[in-house]
Amino acid sequence: MPWDGVRRIIWAKHFDEMEIIGNDHFSIGVPIKADPEFKAMLFAAAITHIDGNKSIDYIYRRYGKEYLEAFDDDKRCPSGSLKELVLHVGKTAEGLAKRLSSGTFTSQQPTGCIYAVNVLIRMQSTFHAISQLILGGLALEAEAVIRQGIEQCAWSLAVKGLDDVHDVNKTSPTKSVSRLKQSFPGAGHIYGLLSDSAHASPSSQSRFIERDGDQVAIAIRSTDHCRQALLYLVMLLDTYANIAESIINHMGVPTPTFEPPVQPHDYNTINRYTALFNDADLVRYSTWRGA
**70/168 same-domain check:** no
Question: Which of the listed residues 27, 53, 76 is the one where a domain comes to its end?
Answer: 76
Question: Is 185 contained in some domain?
Answer: yes
Do the beta carbons of residue 106 and residue 251 sit within 8 Å? Answer: yes
Task: Please indicate, yes or no, if residue 3 is contained in any of the structural domains.
Answer: no
Taking phi over 0 as left and psi of -120 to 50 as alpha, with beta for the rest, 138 belongs to beta
What are the strands, taking DSSP E only, across the chain? 18-22, 27-31, 209-212, 215-218
* pLDDT in the model for residue 256: 61
Same domain flag for 87 and 66: no
Higher-confidence position of 69 and 147: 147
> 263 pLDDT band (50/70/90 cuts)?
confident
Does residue 234 sit in the same domain as residue 219?
A: yes
1 lies in some domain: no
Q: What is the mean pLDDT of residues 151-157?
A: 97
In a domain, 7, yes or no: no
32 and 123 both lie in a single domain = no
76 class by beta-carbon count within 10 Å (0-12 exposed, 13-18 middle, 19+ buried): middle
Q: Identify whether 118 is part of a domain.
A: yes
Are the C-beta atoms of 142 and 133 separated by less than 8 Å?
A: yes
Is the pLDDT reported for residue 214 higher than 80?
A: yes
Q: What is the pLDDT of residues 4-62, one digit of tens each?
A: 666 666 666 677 788 888 888 889 988 887 888 899 999 999 999 998 888 898 898 99
40 and 119 assigned to the same domain? no
Same domain, 165 and 279: yes
**Domain co-membership, 237 together with 266:** yes
Which pLDDT value is given to residue 223? 85
* Euclidean distance between CA atoms 20 and 71, whole angstroms: 11
Give the per-residue pLDDT at 9.
64
Give, as one character, the DSSP assignment of residue 230: H
If asked whether residues 19 and 67 sit together in one domain, one would say yes
Q: Is residue 284 scored above 50 in pLDDT?
A: yes
Which residues does 223 contact at the CB level (< 8 Å), separation at least 6?
A: 82, 134, 135, 137
Task: Report the pLDDT value the prediction gives residue 1, as an integer from 0 to 100.
Answer: 47
In a domain, 276, yes or no: yes
Q: Are residues 68 and 114 in the same domain?
A: no
- pLDDT tens digit sequence for 231-249: 999 999 999 999 999 999 8
Burial (CB < 10 A; 0-12, 13-18, 19+), residue 267, is middle
Strands 18-22 and 215-218: unpaired
How much is the average pLDDT of 90-109?
89
How many domains, the chain?
2
Average pLDDT value for residue range 102-121: 90
CA of residue 184 relative to chain centroid, distance: 20
Structural contact between residues 234 and 93, judged by C-beta atoms closer than 8 angstroms: no
pLDDT of amino acid 176? 96
Instruction: Give CA 17 to chain center in angstroms.
Output: 10
Q: Say what the pLDDT of residue 222 is.
A: 87
The predicted structure's pLDDT at residue 31 = 85
153 vs 67, more confident: 153
72, 48, 76: which is closest to 62 by C-alpha? Answer: 48
Q: Which candidate, 138, 97, 134, 137, places its Cα nearest to that of 118?
A: 97
What is the average pLDDT score of the chain?
89
Q: Which domain holds residue 222?
A: 82-289
Residue 217 has pLDDT above 70, yes or no: yes
d(CA 274, CA 271): 5
